[in-house]
Amino acid sequence: MSLPPALAEIVDDFGALGESDRVTLLLEFAGELPDLPDHLREDAMEPVPECQSPVFLSVDAADAAEVRLYFSAPREAPTTRGFASILHQGLDGAPAAAILDVPADFYYDLGLGSVVSPLRLRGMAGMLGRIKNQVRIQTAGDPNPDTGA
């Protein structure tokens, strides 16, 4: 599996824990999602309808060597917010090519499948898919950006 170093470290951290500790770590990530910068407004961001909670993201791949990611997820949805924070901490600042190489199902390696519903996991897959799609569009790395995630 090809993961940027920061995301690989997060996956390793989750893998070293038991189920209940993984949930605790996910909730810790939820508390670490940074606020949006002043120049971004939620209504100008891309919604992620695959998530059960209202999640919005913005991808800035103007510099393909250092892609910037921004998320808005409600504090009342800690699982979803935790997933957004994992993606932010694991992928923000990574090169476009490294983000595009992340397997669409990497989140299974977090070991949350037995403690988080499949619907919630699909939300994380939706976030990653939309990030990758925006990276493709902005870097012109794929003439048909709607294929694959």
14-36 pLDDT per residue, tens: 999 999 999 999 999 999 999 99
For the residues 30-58, what does the mean pLDDT come to? 92
Question: What letter represents residue 83's amino acid?
Answer: F
DSSP string, 17-33: S-HHHHHHHHHHHHTTP
Which residue carries 């988080």 as its tokens? 116
In the three-class reduction of DSSP (H, G, I as helix; E, B as strand; rest coil), residue 8 is classed as helix
What confidence score (pLDDT) does residue 137 get? Answer: 95
88-114 burial string, b = 16+ CB within 10 Å, else e?
bbbbbebbbebbbebeeebbebbbbee
pTM above threshold 0.85: yes
Q: What is the pLDDT of residues 99-110, one digit of tens each?
A: 999 999 998 899
Q: What structural domains does the chain harbor?
A: 5-140 (3.90.1010.10)
What confidence score (pLDDT) does residue 84 get? Answer: 97
Which residue carries 């799609």 as its tokens? 133
